[in-house]
Amino acid sequence: MSGARPIDRFFHPVLLSKKLKSKPVSIDVGSAGLPERVVLFRTSKGKIAATQDRCPHRGSPLSLGELRNDELVCPYHGWRVDRDGATTHPTSGPIKKCRVPTYSVHEADGFIWMASSHLARRASFPDVSEWTHMGSYEIPIDAPLELVLDNFNEDEHFPYVHKVLGWNEEGAHDVQFSCDVRGDELSVNYRGPQRDFFGRSFFMLPKNGFFDNKWVVRFDPVRISYLVTATDCAGNPVAPLRQHVVIYFVPVQKHKTVIRVMQYSSLGNSRWRLLLKMMAPLTIMVSKWDLEHDKHLLEKIVALSPDPGPIRYGTYDEPLLQARKLLRKVYWAEPTRAEVGHERSAQDPEFSL
């Protein structure tokens, strides 16, 4: 069955694979459309299952119970639920017409992916076959999806929020920027002078090179695929190391979004994979540390002004406007202005540039 809720239409990465061991784990995807919590567990053969985290008897969370013979045993009165949602009473046996809702799950790229509908298919993932997987991680951010996505859709904040990749305040004068929308896909390009920093040579970044960051945003579900290269000012590569970072934005509550990050690197030739694997722990540490700066600032904004009021868009904010439109159209599947008979007005945000 398909519906309007994002979780009915798209697979979302909902948990780091390594976090699901022998114990069931309860997850929240409320803002993506499931008001109930979901419990994930692994069967003895390692298969992943997902059911509603609520016992049909008297509502106890199944995730608080134990896993026995591939069934969840409710901690309250011992009713059992298997991976297909079938229920069994501890003394009287299988219970007729009593099934717990189940969800589609699979495992890839370091994450467990879930959709509520058995018809759903995972949307195309950027082709990473030529890349070395450096690691996957997640960062919960206490901020709404829109605000988090805004932050990851511009590099204007690099001199102020970040310390390593990208340019400093002086370099901001030489930044090249473009933005393009094709169908439901948004492409953004930034190129600016790479600042000097301690450890620059670890990332094989030459002095006086440019930080070239190209990304594509898609909304089925919400994700950005970044391609980061060291170039000259005209965009010609000047170093072999390239980074490919894919971030999924999963809204779990109205004011909470989890970003789930998959990071890949390339040195242009597969024989360097071992070297990249050796660089992986430090690369992931630096990348995560960099994104923690985004989290820190976003959470401060929300804590101090939960309703930020009107926004005065600037030179670099065209991607934000386009992303908000596509977010409403594709991810939330809201009716368009034409469909609801909306008259365009000069007060609309997209007219405020």
Residue 126 binding: pick among Fe ion, ligand FES, none (C-beta 5-8 Å cut-off by kind): none
- The amino acid occupying position 55 is C
Judged by beta carbon, residue 74 or residue 141, the one nearer ligand FES is: 74
Residue nearer to Fe ion on the CB measure, 276 or 291 = 291
CB-nearer residue toward ligand FES: 77 or 300 = 77
From ligand FES, Fe ion, none, interface partner of 77 (C-beta below 5 to 8 A by class): ligand FES
CA distances to 106, 112, 151 from 32, rounded to whole Å, are 18, 16, 20
User: Which partner from the list ligand FES, Fe ion, none does 79 bind, CB cut-off 5 to 8 Å by kind?
Assistant: ligand FES
- Indicate the residue among 82 and 294 with the shorter CB distance to Fe ion: 294
**Residue 138 is a binding residue for Fe ion (CB under 5 A):** no
Phi, psi torsion values for 337, nearest 5 degrees: -60, -40
Minimal distance, residue 91 CB to Fe ion, in Å: 57
Q: How far is the CB of 74 from ligand FES (least distance, A)?
A: 3
User: Residue 64 CB, nearest distance to ligand FES (Å)?
Assistant: 10
Query: CA 327, CA 147: separation in Å to the nearest integer?
Result: 12
Among ligand FES, Fe ion, none, the one that 332 touches (CB under a kind-dependent 5 to 8 A) is: none
DSSP structure string for 175-210? -EEEEEEETTEEEEEEEEEPPP-TTGGGGTPPTT-E
Distance of closest approach, residue 218 Cβ to ligand FES, in angstroms: 40
Q: How far is the CB of 96 from ligand FES (least distance, A)?
A: 16
Question: Can you say whether the dihedral through the CA atoms of 116, 118, 123, 125 is positive or negative?
Answer: positive
CB of 180 to Fe ion, least distance (A): 21
Handedness of CA 279, 259, 106, 124 (dihedral sign): negative
Structure-block tokens of residue 301:
């904004």
**Comparison of 108 and 301: residue with beta carbon closer to Fe ion:** 301
If the CB atoms of residues 89 and 200 are measured against ligand FES, the closer one turns out to be: 89
CB nearer to Fe ion: pick between 294 and 317: 294
Residue numbers at the binding site for ligand FES (CB under 6 A): 55, 57-58, 60, 74, 76-79
* DSSP per-residue codes, 332-351: S-PPPHHHHTPPP-TTSGGG
Q: How far apart are CA 17 and CA 195, in angstroms?
A: 36
From the list ligand FES, Fe ion, none, pick the one residue 294 interacts with, judged by a Cβ distance below 5 to 8 Å according to partner type.
Fe ion
Among 294, 298, 302, 330, binds Fe ion (CB under 5 A): 294
Name the segment binding Fe ion (CB under 5 A); options: 3-11, 62-70, 226-234, 294-302. 294-302
- What span, in angstroms and rounded, lies between the C-alpha atoms of 39 and 344? 44
Cα 223 versus chain centre, distance: 6
What residue 57 binds from Fe ion, ligand FES, none (CB within 5 to 8 A, per partner kind)? ligand FES
Q: Choose among 3, 58, 66: nearest CA to 39.
A: 66
Burial 208-241 (b: 16+ CB within 10 A, else e): ebbbbbbbbbbbbbbbbbbbbbbbeeeeeebbeb
